Amino acid sequence: MFNKKKESNTFSYLAQGFELKGEVQCDGELQLDGSIIGQIHVTQLVVGEFGRVKGNIHAQSVIVQGSVEGTINADKVTIEKTANVKGDVIHDTLSMEAGAIVEGNLTHKHQAASVTSIAVPSQKSADAQQ
């Protein structure tokens, strides 16, 4: 009973018209319809259609419907059609809807040791098989 590990189900909401300057850290989900100027470290982040971020984002999951100016570094990134992202997106999984605006590099996270290269047959070996 007392040794049970608590799961983080924290939900935080910053409403439209709310502006925060500084670093944000949250172990749960943050729904942002206001504005944050600064670094964000969260488990899950939803930048609503009216939400604005000016700073870098570090999270497990990010959904962008509004505006982000800075680097997004997350395992799962979803960029919806109303989004405007100015900065690099570093991801494991990326989903982007038609109409989304992204100005920056898209970089897939991977470990070089776990990547297997695919051998492409050269023209000589292809001719030899015929």
Instruction: Give the separation between CA 63 and CA 27, rounded to whole angstroms.
Output: 16
In this predicted model, what pLDDT tens digit does every residue of 61-94 receive, in sequence order?
999 999 999 999 999 999 999 999 999 999 999 9
Q: Is 110 left (phi over 0), alpha (psi -120 to 50) or beta?
A: beta
pLDDT exceeds cutoff 70 at 118: no
Greater confidence (23 vs 10) lies with 23
**Which of 22, 7, 74, 87 minimizes the C-alpha distance to 46?**
74
DSSP strand pairing (101-103 vs 89-96): unpaired
Which residues touch 60 (CB under 8 Å, ≥6 apart)? 43, 44, 74, 75, 76
Average pLDDT of every residue of the chain: 86
Q: Using an 8 Å Cβ cutoff, are 87 and 105 in contact?
A: no
pLDDT exceeds cutoff 70 at 116: no
**Domain extents in the chain:** 11-129
Q: How high is the pLDDT of residue 2?
A: 45
Instruction: Give the separation between CA 106 and CA 38, rounded to whole angstroms.
Output: 21
Residue 113: band (very low, low, confident or very high) from pLDDT cuts 50, 70, 90: low
